[in-house]
């Protein structure tokens, strides 16, 4: 059987026909059926919704929306609070223990011994900070964390914010107690703040440099060395210091500010470095197809 196809001219002619809706349009431009429905609805007043039902429904719907949006935008405070719940308990215990030690000795011992105690505890505060921050590398979980929404640099930032907060609290309380027993501000800078800032800066620098090769020994080495050095060096230096006529009371705050700047600089660098994989591979021979 031969099938007759429409001719090209016929097809073109059809295409030129304007589109006509089969539904009749009312004067307002609405189809008649819709107009009927509109008139019908206007005859009835909508029911009053009781305020308590309305409120509960809105609460329920808001909760449902929150549940559906499983990747919500979080404020900085929300993120800090979330990360705070995952900080190891021993960090808070250690900081509390340090405060206890300071308060225990501050009213019992002479200032010289207290200074020595402070100069040893200050690097300890840095040790706690860097040890906790570096736990991703030590526990070998950094690779998983780096592939998350808040990558490793951001996780370090949250941890540092929380831990610096704790450290500032400890140091402020210690400063108040120190001043109460007659200690001078520059002495506090010299024995507590300077070692804390310096060890913190060096430790964070080391952490940034060694990246995923970081281990507990390396992390502990810097604060411990500074602590031991402080113990032997700081008290004699305080007695016999003279540098171009600048006294310690004037020089130390400046040096402390420089150390603080160094700490902040290293913190910033650590929290902006995106890739912590140490890429200077030395294990070429391990590639077994060469």
Partner 1 sequence: MELRIENLTKQYGTFIAINNLSAVLTCGVYGLLGANGAGKTTLMRLLCDIQLPTAGTICYDGENIREYGDRYRNVLGYLPQDFGYYPDFTAMKFLLYMSAIKGLSKSYAGQRSLELLDEVDLLQVKDKKIKTFSGGMKQRLGIAQAMLNDPKVLILDEPTSGLDPKERVRFRNLISSFSRNKIVLLSTHIVSDVEYIAGNILVMKKGEFIHKGKPDEIIHTVDGKVWECRVADREVPSLESRFNIGNMRTEGENIILRIISEEKPLEDAVNVTPNLEDLYLYYFSDEDHPQ
Give residue 46's Cα distance to chain centre: 51
CB of 67 to partner 1, least distance (A): 6
Whose CA is closest to 187, among 99, 115, 290?
Answer: 115
- Catalog residues that contact partner 1 under the rule CB under 8 A: 66-67, 69-72, 74, 82-83, 86, 88, 135, 139-141, 143-151, 155, 275, 277, 279-281, 284, 286-289
Whose CA is closest to 187, among 250, 258, 264?
Answer: 250
Helix (H) or strand (E) holding 55: helix 51-68
Q: Which is nearer to partner 1, 141 or 181 (CB)?
A: 141
CB of 254 to partner 1, least distance (A): 40
CB of 101 to partner 1, least distance (A): 25
DSSP per position, 194-245: HHHHHHHHHHHHHHHHHGGG--HHHHHHHHHHHHHHHHHHHHHHHHH--BTT
183, 248 Cβ separation under 8 angstroms? no
Q: How does DSSP classify residue 109?
A: S
Q: Which is nearer to partner 1, 8 or 282 (CB)?
A: 282
Q: Which is nearer to partner 1, 69 or 110 (CB)?
A: 69
Q: Which is nearer to partner 1, 91 or 204 (CB)?
A: 91
CB of 72 to partner 1, least distance (A): 5
| Structure tokens given for 50 | 């009781």
Q: Which is nearer to partner 1, 228 or 277 (CB)?
A: 277
CB of 243 to partner 1, least distance (A): 45
CB of 30 to partner 1, least distance (A): 40
Q: With the CA atoms of 86, 91, 92 and 95 taken in that order, what torsion angle do they form, in degrees rounded to the nearest 10?
A: -160
Q: Look at residue 31 and give its three-state secondary structure.
A: strand
Q: Which is nearer to partner 1, 116 or 154 (CB)?
A: 154
| Structure tokens given for 181 | 């027993």
């Amino acid at each position: 059987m031969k099938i007759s196809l429409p001719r090209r001219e016929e097809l073109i002619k059809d295409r030129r026909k304007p589109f006509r809706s089969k539904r009749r349009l009312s004067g307002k431009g609405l189809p008649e059926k819709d107009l009927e429905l509109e008139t019908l609805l206007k005859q009835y007043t909508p029911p009053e919704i009781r305020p308590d039902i309305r409120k509960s429904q809105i609460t329920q719907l808001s909760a449902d929306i929150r549940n559906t949006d499983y990747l919500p935008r979080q404020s900085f405070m929300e993120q800090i609070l979330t990360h705070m719940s995952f900080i190891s308990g021993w960090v808070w215990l250690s900081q509390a223990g340090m405060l206890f030690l300071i308060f225990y000795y501050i009213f019992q011992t002479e200032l010289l011994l207290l200074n020595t105690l402070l100069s040893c505890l200050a690097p300890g505060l840095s040790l706690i900070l860097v040890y906790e921050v570096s736990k991703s590398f030590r526990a070998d979980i950094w690779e998983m964390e780096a592939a998350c929404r808040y990558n490793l640099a951001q996780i370090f930032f949250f941890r540092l914010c929380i831990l610096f907060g704790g450290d500032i609290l400890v140091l402020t309380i210690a400063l108040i107690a120190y001043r109460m027993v007659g200690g001078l501000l520059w002495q506090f800078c010299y024995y507590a703040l300077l070692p804390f800032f310096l060890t913190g800066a060096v430790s964070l620098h080391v952490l940034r440099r060694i990246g995923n090769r970081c281990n507990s020994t390396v992390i502990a080495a810097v604060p411990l060395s500074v602590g031991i050095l402080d113990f032997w060096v700081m008290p004699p230096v305080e007695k016999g210091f003279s540098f171009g006529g600048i006294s310690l009371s004037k020089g130390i705050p400046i040096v402390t500010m420089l150390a603080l700047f160094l700490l902040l600089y290293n913190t910033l660098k650590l929290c902006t470095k995106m890739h912590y994989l140490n890429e200077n591979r030395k294990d070429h021979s391990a590639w077994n197809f060469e």
